[in-house]
Amino acid sequence: MNVVWLKRDLRLADNETLFNGLESNAVVIYIFEPRISHNYDWDIRHWRFVYQSLKHLEAKGLKVHFLYGEAQPVFEWLKQKYESITVFSHCETGNDLTYQRDIELAAYFKSSKISWNEYQSNLVIRGAKNRAAWD
Of the candidates 39, 48, 57, the one whose C-alpha atom is nearest the C-alpha of residue 96 is 39
pTM of the predicted model over 0.75:
yes
In degrees and rounded to multiples of 5, residue 130 shows phi and psi of -125, 120
Q: Could you read off the pLDDT of 77-133 as tens digits, one per residue?
A: 999 999 899 999 988 777 788 889 999 999 999 999 999 998 876 555 656 566 666
pLDDT for res 121? 63
Three-state SS at 96:
helix
Please state the φ and ψ torsions of residue 53, each to the nearest 5 degrees. Answer: -65, -40
pLDDT (tens digit per residue) in 47-84: 899 899 999 999 999 999 999 999 999 999 999 999 89
Calculate the alpha carbon distances from 121 to 47, 76, 80, 84 in Å.
20, 26, 30, 26
Cα-only R_g, the chain: 15
